[in-house]
């Protein structure tokens, strides 16, 4: 299940983050890649620093407040954000994200997330391409928007041929391990919210909420 999150960040938040990016240092992205991904990773990443800590605080707060993110992902652990920069043909070839990540605590990667920080008209190339069984899907979103997608997918970032593509990336361990179960819960939650908007707290809403809650009890990994 691929879910866009439009306007995750306000214009002022994007401006603040980009100011912090401008004051930071970058290193070779291969330093954080798995042994096989190093062969196709050609980007730069912000070094661990105070600006990166401030960026993480802004992004973490935005995720806490974003209702769609929370009922789509059921986050249990959210990894610290990495800030990535691609320029001068920089790219990240086809790869799959590591199943486990290690930083202070070990977590499973169920869901990957990209937050777009550069305006799409400020660079050329750089599409995020996610492979699905029937086709590839391309994403190039407005600054401050984000996309969440299963970490189980092959994906890539096309070469940036002009300008700079700056994004923040993180990974989520969900309380609902199964992507199929997360999609069922998402559909039910979407339907019950629509029922509530249409008819208020009706009998149908109560029954849908009961089924949703009981499935959460059955499927949650806490």
Can you read off the two tokens belonging to residue 7? 């306007």
Distance CA 170, CA 189 (A): 24
103 assigned ligand-binding residue: no
In the predicted model, residues of the chain with pLDDT beneath 50 are: none
Q: What is the model's pLDDT at position 77? A: 96
Nearest Cα to Cα of residue 153 among 78, 80, 94: 94
95 assigned ligand-binding residue: yes
Q: Summarize pLDDT for 5-44 with one digit per residue, the tens.
A: 999 999 999 999 999 999 999 999 888 777 777 889 999 9
Q: What is the model's pLDDT at position 203? A: 96
Q: What is the model's pLDDT at position 50? A: 95
Residue ranges covered by each domain of the chain: 3-174, 179-219
Q: What is the model's pLDDT at position 37? A: 78
28 assigned ligand-binding residue: no
97 assigned ligand-binding residue: yes
Domain 3-174 architecture: Sandwich (2.60)
Can you read off the two tokens belonging to residue 113? 């997330």
Long-range contacts of range 217-220, CB-CB < 8 Å, 24 or more positions apart?
219/176, 219/178, 219/181, 219/185, 220/74, 220/175, 220/176
Give the number of other CB atoms < 10 A from CB of residue 117: 25
């Amino acid at each position: 299940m691929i879910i866009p999150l439009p306007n995750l960040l306000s214009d002022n938040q994007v401006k603040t983050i980009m100011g912090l990016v401008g004051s930071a240092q970058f290193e070779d992205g291969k330093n954080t890649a798995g042994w096989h991904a190093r062969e196709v990773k050609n980007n730069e990443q912000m070094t661990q620093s105070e600006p990166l800590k401030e960026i993480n605080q802004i992004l973490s707060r935005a995720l806490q407040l974003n209702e769609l993110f929370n009922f789509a992902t059921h986050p249990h652990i959210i990894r610290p954000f990495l800030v990535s920069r691609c320029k001068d043909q920089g790219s990240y070839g086809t790869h799959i994200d590591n199943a486990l990540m290690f930083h202070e605590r070990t977590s499973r990667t169920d869901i990957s997330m990209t937050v777009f920080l550069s305006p799409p008209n400020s660079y050329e190339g750089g599409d995020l391409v996610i492979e699905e069984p029937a086709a590839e899907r391309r994403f190039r979103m407005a600054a401050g928007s984000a996309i969440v997608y299963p970490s189980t997918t092959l994906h890539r970032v096309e070469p940036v041929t002009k300008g700079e593509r700056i994004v923040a990336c993180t990974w989520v361990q969900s309380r609902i391990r199964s992507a199929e179960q997360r999609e069922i819960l998402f559909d039910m939650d979407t339907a019950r919210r629509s029922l509530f908007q249409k008819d208020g707290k009706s009998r149908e809403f109560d029954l849908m909420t009961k089924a949703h809650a009981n499935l959460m009890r059955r499927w949650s990994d806490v």
